[in-house]
Amino acid sequence: MSIWRAIAELEEKFEPGVLCTIIHSQGSTPRHVGSKMLVYADGSILGSVGGGELEARIIAAALESISDGNPRRLPFNMSDPAQGDPGLCGGQVEVYMEPIIPKPALVIVGAGHVGRAVAHLAHWLDFRVVVSDDRPEFCDPEMFPEVEEFFPLPFEQLSDHLRITPWTYFVLTTRSVDIDVPGLPNILASPAAFIGVIGSKRRWQTTRTQLEALGVAEDQLARVQSPMGIEINAETPEEIAVSIMAEIIRIRHKNG
């Protein structure tokens, strides 16, 4: 498989990777300018930029690039392993690492008025929008034309069907605490980037107390943002959606 085809497959599957390219080569080196290697999130590779210790270090740096989302430009001398060089062939190489980060997924749990407004705005902001509601009639493409995937099932079952990654953002616009409590423990244990719960401070305190009784740890409870959204005195569903998405954008760019 070509590296370009593999990159296309990563994008289709919403999976991360890093394209590593030699952009400078001088002297004796195992590979030269233009050589490419694709590093997957599990550390496996496609292609090569030289093998051996050099490649091992590039893979390690690529995995860091996946984690923080930042590109890297790393020079390597290959003269004296005793001084920490990754080889002794005598040359120099410079490698550019370009992370391939999946399109962020915005998962809306609760398909009411606010959920619909958030879905519309998130789609416009180029998120992949997913909607879940335990009422199948609410998971309707006519109501949510921007949504790419629907999960008409109880919240507590969602994590069994949805792949949650560090690029997944949860917006809970549910109608009651009784829905949030059974479903939140699995989401809190996931690598999701954001977990926000709509409602008043009193509602979240009630939810929190019940989650504590279930044994959910404090560090997991601290992940929840509730009330969610930047304070703009929002009143309408559309204004609330702007508030929520503004907070998610801020967190997304801070994490990236």
Q: Are residues 149 and 238 in the same domain?
A: yes
| Cβ contact 51:93 at 8 Å | no
pLDDT tens per residue across span 167-197: 999 999 998 899 999 999 999 999 999 999 9
Counted domains in the chain: 2
Q: Are residues 135 and 190 in the same domain?
A: yes
In this predicted structure, the answer to whether residue 85 has a pLDDT above a threshold of 50 is no
Tokens coding 223: 């992940």
| Cβ contact 17:100 at 8 Å | yes
Give the start-end residues of each E strand in 7-79: 17-26, 36-40, 45-47, 72-77
pLDDT at 5: 95
Q: Are residues 80 and 189 in the same domain?
A: no
Q: Are residues 131 and 244 in the same domain?
A: yes
Q: Are residues 110 and 79 in the same domain?
A: no
At CA 128, angle to CA 122 and CA 129, rounded to 5? Answer: 60
Q: Are residues 55 and 181 in the same domain?
A: no
Q: Are residues 163 and 240 in the same domain?
A: yes
**Sole residue written with tokens 């090569």:** 48
Domain holding 166, by residue range, is: 105-255
Tokens coding 88: 């002794």
Q: Which of 100, 129, 150 is the last residue of a domain?
A: 100
Tell me the whole-structure pTM to 2 decimals.
0.85
pLDDT at 84: 40
Q: Are residues 82 and 207 in the same domain?
A: no
pLDDT tens per residue across span 1-49: 799 999 999 998 889 999 999 998 876 666 788 889 999 999 999 998 8
Q: Which of 42, 65, 100 is the last residue of a domain?
A: 100
Q: Are residues 133 and 77 in the same domain?
A: no
- Domain containing 132 — which CATH number? 3.40.50.720
- β-bridge mates for residue 129, sequence order: 106
Q: Are residues 15 and 81 in the same domain?
A: yes
Q: Are residues 88 and 153 in the same domain?
A: no
